[in-house]
Chain A
Amino acid sequence: MNSAIPPRRRGLTWAQKDSVWGYAFVTPQLVGFTVFVLIPIVSVFLFSMESRNLLSGKVSFIGLDNYATMFGKDPLFWKTIGNTLVFSAGLVPFNIALALLLANLLARALAGITFFRAVFFAPVITASVAWAIVWQFLLQGERGPINQFLAVLGLNGPDWLRTEGWAMAAVIFSRVIKTVGLNTVIFLAALKNIPSELVEAAQIDGANRAQVFRKITLPLLAPTTMLVTVITVIGSLQVFDHIVLLTQGGPANSTFVLVYYIYFQAFKVFETGYASSLAVVLFVIALTLTLVQWALRRRFVYNEV
């Protein structure tokens, strides 16, 4: 290492020294990134072309056979892809709409507002396993607290986690309640940065609250919304513990999502090669969704703050 340092160090300008500092600053991150992110991403593509059984230890190179199986002979694969997309399509808009609504409510200068801010953020700091354990009880069939409450209102709640359709809805709902607080706070911060003169000017012009929200707040929040959407979409693709504890993928595999399937193939039936090819699909989905959002950003984000 010493030999690489130029002998005439004194001759370096501030800018040149500065760029040495630059490399020094990013090195720990870049090295770690290379070892734990970059190389693994490359290797998962290679692994996906193997048949590798963890139990028997048998390994063979099989080219694209895993993909052929996946696309042609594995109905559960398509089911998990569908479920993953349904989960994301349900969770992301619901989460963002609720976060926007809550942020607008919580942005007001009302007495006791910090109490409500704390309330809506509380599930965020709760371990998601703990959250899922509790909701598993709340969502029980006829004896569950939620259904007993509905019964008081004269409603007959379904067996949430055991009924196809409702199970996905229940999983999404409990997940949104768990995570919406974070997005709310991010929106809240962005709302505080909107110059109040803009809003006041609009009000003087006779705009009502809904109009202010639509014409001023929403466009100004666009960059934040973009970021929140990206984070929420990625988060929705990663859901695992919530599903494992609430439904184990059931009923009738209706909540079996891709990450759970990767885990299942790799560590329950020990086909790590096949699991790697599923991971490649997850990679492609994440990449596609991000590119789509990037393209949409051009159309909807007028104002880059």
Chain B
Amino acid sequence: MKSSLPRSPSQRRFAALRHWRAYLVMALMSVPFVFPFWWMISSSVKGLNDIFAFPPPLFPANPNWSNFVDVFSYQPFARQYANSLFISTVVTIGVMLIASLSGYAYARISFRGRNGFFLLVLCALMIPAEVTIIPNFRTMTAFDWVNTHIPLIIIPIFGAGSVFGTFMMRQFFLQLPREIEESGMLDGLNRFGIFVRIALPLARPALGALAVLTFLSSWNAYLEPLLYVNDLPLFTLPLALANFVDAYGTPLWHLQLAATTLAVVPVLLVYVFAQRQIIDSFMQTGVKG
């Protein structure tokens, strides 16, 4: 927030020195954010014996790469990985479709009942989805959709996911200057045309932020898969991670940590490459109350 932006590289370096206190504070604060990743990765190549070694070596002496192989023979881990990718992708696309349509309508189109409908959405935003798990569970049982991926896809798309998405997209479209759309009206576009040709392209940052949030919440989900999925080949990643246990429920730590690393690192890599876009899309969206 300080006034001047440093320009040349030498000025930049000078500024960096001048702000050493800020760097020190940030470096110290980042320890609890970084250390878990480092520890996880270094432990993932330890044998069962070294994980419990006292004191634990920070870099394992004899990396035990076979952990990463054993992960796949213990349960259909690749399949489970693919399940999570598939479910999260479908949910993300579904929510983006539904939420951008309804969010736009609530922000821009005037129709009777609009405020009432939106008030419902707003209220639902404040209700934890866990309130509805039992009724939804019974619905899914009645449709015989238990032990399929259907509940994991349709409940977030039509329930909590699109509620949040609708709210977020509405807030974004409200900020969009109306004048931009008026040219479209003059060109004879109907509402759908205006939405597709004008509003939606401008909503890219908001859609990006919504996509990231939706993907993550589906990717992270644990309670719903725990309820709905029984068979190992249908498991999602979080269930699979929690399932590195022997037949009596005793955790197999070394495999669990290797699997956890396999689950986290690729996402982390994607994020490292896309982080500027991801964070920028959040910043441009400027989620507001």
Distance from B3 Cβ to chain A, minimum over Cβ atoms (Å): 7
Chain A proximity mask over B145-184: 1 for CB below 8 Å, otherwise 0: 0000000001101111011001000000000000000000
- List residues 267-281 of chain A with CB under 8 A from any CB of chain B: 267, 272, 275-276, 279-280
| Complex Cα gap A188–B185 (Å) | 35
The one of B36, B135, B286 in contact with A138, judged by C-beta atoms closer than 8 angstroms, is B36
A67 contacts B by Cβ under 8 Å: no
The one of B40, B54, B163, B272 in contact with A37, judged by C-beta atoms closer than 8 angstroms, is B163
Q: Quick check: B136 and A26 within 8 Å, CB to CB?
A: no
Contacts of A190 in B (CB 8 A): 286, 288
- Count of chain B residues near A, Cβ 8 A: 108
B232 contacts A by Cβ under 8 Å: no
Contacts of B34 in A (CB 8 A): 119, 122
Distance from A64 Cβ to chain B, minimum over Cβ atoms (Å): 18
A282 contacts B by Cβ under 8 Å: yes
Chain A proximity mask over B257-289: 1 for CB below 8 Å, otherwise 0: 100100110011001100110110011111111
Q: Quick check: A226 and B162 within 8 Å, CB to CB?
A: no
- List residues 29-66 of chain A with CB under 8 A from any CB of chain B: 29-33, 35-41, 43-44, 47
- Count of chain A residues near B, Cβ 8 A: 108
B73 contacts A by Cβ under 8 Å: no
Contacts of B126 in A (CB 8 A): 230, 234, 286-287, 290
Tell me whether A111 and B127 are in contact in the complex, defined as CB-CB below 8 angstroms, given that A130-B264, A189-B286, A266-B134 are known contacts: no
> Which residues of B are interface residues toward A (Cβ below 8 A)?
1-3, 5-6, 12-13, 15-16, 19, 22-23, 25-26, 29-30, 32-37, 39-40, 43, 52, 54-56, 97-99, 101-102, 104-106, 109-112, 114, 117, 120-121, 124-137, 139, 154-155, 157-160, 162-163, 166, 185, 190-192, 195, 212-213, 216, 219-220, 222-223, 227, 237-238, 241-242, 253, 256-257, 260, 263-264, 267-268, 271-272, 275-276, 278-279, 282-289
Leading 6 A-B pairs by shortest Cβ distance: A32-B158, A22-B111, A25-B105, A227-B289, A19-B111, A40-B135
> Which residues of A are interface residues toward B (Cβ below 8 A)?
14-15, 17-23, 25-26, 28-33, 35-41, 43-44, 47, 102, 104-112, 114, 116-131, 133-135, 137-138, 143, 145, 148, 173, 177, 181-182, 185-186, 188-193, 196, 199-200, 203, 209, 212, 223-224, 226-227, 230, 234, 237-238, 240-241, 244-245, 259, 262-263, 266-267, 272, 275-276, 279-280, 282-283, 286-287, 290, 305
